[in-house]
Structure 1
Amino acid sequence: MKTGIYKEVQIDTSHRLLHYHGKCANLHGHRWKIEVWMEGEPAPDTQIVIDYSLIKKVVEKYDHQIILNEEDPMVPRIAEFHPVITTPGDPTSELIAVLIRDDIHNTCHEMGITAKVTKIRVWESPTSCAEIT
């Protein structure tokens, strides 16, 4: 029997959008709310689809980090003082949703967990989010 689960994690990060013309082209921060829906078969011994703390651990790798487009000229300079997570394109809420989904899937695969992300929402403000299914 397939079972669905849900986990919410909040993180703080800074980013900027290199190819955007407006305020978001400046380095700025957000308190992001990440919502993850997963589906899978509960393990026979534990009846757990995936440990909620594993989802939290994967998402929290982004907490208190600077996330920039890998082409951003700020990367080498900031990296002299603080680690930078780079992305293949501007780190929008849309792209961050894809990256977190892929990170969760890769972690599950490495651990032999068959659960899959069915939906993820990345809120960059209380009124704006990206959703992938």
Structure 2
Amino acid sequence: MPGVFEVYVKTHFSAAHRLRGYPGDCARVHGHNWIIEVYVQCRKLNEIGIAIDFRDIKNAVKEVLGRMDHCDLNDLPAFKDENPTSENIAGFLYRELSRALNDGTVKISKVKVCETPGAGAIYWED
């Protein structure tokens, strides 16, 4: 069975949110410095030994996070009907980045979103 390469980039963005229906402090507007990790898989390297250029991943992530950075996430269309939890943000980023980067050779394998250094969520699809 051939091996699988998985590469990743780690970055961050800052944004506010509130959790509608939450029975506690998180129901009020508050902010986080969200830490994001995006993982990309491939089975074959290009002619110079690269799965996907880190720059390509970073540019795609930068484009998506540019719409979220220093915003109230509840005001974004993606979170109009669902809370901008770490879980939902991870799913949103996975779908957006899959559209931007998946090409038959590489695919987003998972996205990790942490609202604090010790707590977060990971999203992937089987």
Regarding TM over 0.5, the answer is: yes
Per-residue deviation, 1:63: 1.3
Query: For the residues of structure 2 that align with 1:43 and 1:85, how far apart are their CA atoms?
Result: 37
Structure 2, unmatched stretches of 5+, are none
Per-residue deviation, 1:48: 4.2
Partner residue, 2:106: 115
Partner residue, 2:65: 60
Query: For the residues of structure 2 that align with 1:113 and 1:14, how far apart are their CA atoms?
Result: 35
Specify whether residues 59 and 8 from structure 1 end up closer, same or farther in structure 2 by C-alpha distance, changes over 3 A only.
farther
In the comparison of the two structures, how many residue pairs are matched?
116
Per-residue deviation, 1:42: 3.5
Query: For the residues of structure 1 that align with 2:36 and 2:30, how far apart are their CA atoms?
Result: 18
Name the stretch that deviates more: 100-109 or 50-59.
50-59
Describe how 1:10-21 pairs up with structure 2 within 5 A.
Answer: 10-21=12-23
TM-score, normalized by length of structure 1? 0.75
Specify whether residues 95 and 46 from structure 1 end up closer, same or farther in structure 2 by C-alpha distance, changes over 3 A only.
same
Query: For the residues of structure 1 that align with 2:110 and 2:31, how far apart are their CA atoms?
Result: 24
Query: For the residues of structure 2 that align with 1:45 and 1:127, how far apart are their CA atoms?
Result: 37
Query: For the residues of structure 2 that align with 1:59 and 1:65, how far apart are their CA atoms?
Result: 13
Structure 1, unmatched stretches of 5+, are 69-83
The answer to whether the 8 Å contact 2:33/2:115 transfers is yes
Partner residue, 1:127: 118
The answer to whether the 8 Å contact 1:9/1:59 transfers is no
Could you tell me which of 16, 25, 28 is aligned with 2:27? Answer: 25
The answer to whether the 8 Å contact 2:39/2:109 transfers is yes
TM-score, normalized by length of structure 2? 0.78
Specify whether residues 100 and 122 from structure 1 end up closer, same or farther in structure 2 by C-alpha distance, changes over 3 A only.
same
Q: CA RMSD, aligned part only?
A: 2.2
The answer to whether the 8 Å contact 1:4/1:38 transfers is yes
Partner residue, 1:95: 88
Identity of aligned residues (%): 28
Instruction: Give the number of the structure whose residues are more often strand, by fraction.
Output: 1
Partner residue, 2:97: 104
Partner amino acid, structure 2, of 1:7:
V
Per-residue deviation, 1:131: 1.3
